[in-house]
């Protein structure tokens, strides 16, 4: 498929990612940093890295994704003047668990709804910790375990299982991050038809990873049990937000590090 078509379809379906990205950006208002090098991990078509460039115009921007067609959209959407001045994002085609970035080179790592596709978050967090400078900040959002709870109630036991925010916090500490701060909220979308829901997941490139594989007969049974609300199909997404710093270790008397959690309603 043409990269421009792939990117356009992704953007049309990425309603949730744009909203969580906006909410993540609001949190940066409370953080006082002056990064020299910033990276958007799982950058998709570039909304995140463009927001970071707007906030930190002097920083070197890295856009990292494992989908070449998506990275092509990031390149094509960089303004000509920005490219001529060498300020356009450097696009890297790489997996999150093996970043082509030197040790202690990043000041801010941003990742919006991307890290949860890793089967094991521990090596990913270790890799992000490796690339951050001391004093560097990791900021992310992920799906939590109550994502698509309507389908789970309907019997979809093949749905991907996502980590609880408490487990994520523990893994951050194990990777060497200090004082992780975690919170969560539920965001609900509605779909007019099942076809519209499946189309969005396909255009986002996550349908199989999110829904898993079952026989069509089983899916028919599950989808028929998906309860409508006001004539539409509700789809709830648990969004886990987190940030943590790479700093010199600071333990508690018991040898651990504190983690703060909040739950939004």
Q: pTM for the whole thing? A: 0.90
Q: What is the DSSP letter of 117?
A: G
Query: Rounded to whole angstroms, how far apart are CA atoms 46 and 91?
Result: 10
Number of domains in the chain: 1
Please state, for a pLDDT cut of 70, what percent of the chain lies above it.
Answer: 93
Structural domain includes residue 152: no
The reported pLDDT for the residue numbered 86 is 84
pLDDT digits (tens, 9 = 90+) for 27-77: 999 999 999 999 999 999 999 999 999 999 999 999 999 999 889 999 999
Domain CATH code at residue 79: 3.40.50.150
DSSP three-state, residue 64: strand
Structural domain includes residue 39: yes
* 73-127 per-position pLDDT tens digit: 999 998 888 888 888 999 999 999 899 999 999 999 999 999 999 989 999 999 9
Asked whether residue 216 is assigned to any structural domain, the reply reads no
Bridge partners (DSSP) listed for residue 240: 142, 184
Residue 166: CB partners within 8 Å, gap ≥ 6? 182, 259, 261
- Is 205 among the domain residues? no
In a domain, 26, yes or no: yes
Contacts of 265 (CB under 8 A, 6+ apart): 185
| Host domain of residue 50 | 3-145+161-187+238-263
pLDDT tens across 175-203, in order?
Answer: 999 989 999 999 999 999 999 999 999 99
Q: Is the pLDDT of residue 254 over 50?
A: no
Q: Answer yes or no: is 202 within a domain.
A: no
Instruction: Tell whether 218 is covered by a domain.
Output: no
Residue 193 lies in a domain: no
* Token code pair at residue 173: 């500490």
Which of 8-17, 203-212, 249-258 is the least confident region?
249-258
Average pLDDT over residues 151-172: 96
């Amino acid at each position: 498929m043409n990269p421009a078509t792939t990117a356009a379809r992704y953007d049309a379906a990425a309603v949730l990612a744009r909203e969580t990205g906006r909410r993540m950006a609001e949190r940066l208002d409370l953080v006082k940093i002056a990064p020299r090098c910033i990276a958007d991990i799982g950058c998709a078509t570039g909304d995140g890295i463009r927001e970071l460039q707007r906030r930190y115009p002097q920083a070197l921007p890295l856009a990292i994704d494992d989908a070449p067609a998506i990275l092509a959209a990031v390149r094509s959407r960089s303004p000509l003047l920005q490219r001529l001045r060498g300020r356009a994002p450097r696009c890297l085609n790489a997996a999150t668990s093996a970043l082509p970035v030197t040790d202690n080179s990043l000041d801010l790592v941003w990742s919006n709804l991307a890290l949860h596709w890793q089967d094991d978050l521990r090596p990913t967090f270790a890799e992000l910790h490796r690339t951050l400078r001391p004093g560097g900040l990791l900021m992310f959002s992920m799906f939590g375990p109550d994502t698509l709870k309507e389908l789970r109630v309907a019997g979809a036991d093949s749905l991907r299982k996502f980590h609880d925010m408490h487990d994520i916090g523990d893994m951050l500490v194990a990777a060497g991050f200090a004082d992780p701060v975690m919170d969560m909220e539920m965001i609900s979308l509605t779909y007019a038809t099942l076809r519209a829901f499946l189309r969005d997941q396909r255009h986002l490139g996550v349908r199989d990873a999110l829904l898993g594989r079952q026989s069509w007969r089983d899916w028919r049974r599950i989808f028929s049990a998906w309860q409508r609300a006001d004539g539409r199909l509700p789809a709830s997404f648990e969004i886990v937000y987190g940030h943590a710093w790479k700093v010199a270790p600071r333990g508690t008397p018991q040898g651990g590090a504190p983690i703060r959690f909040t739950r939004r309603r």
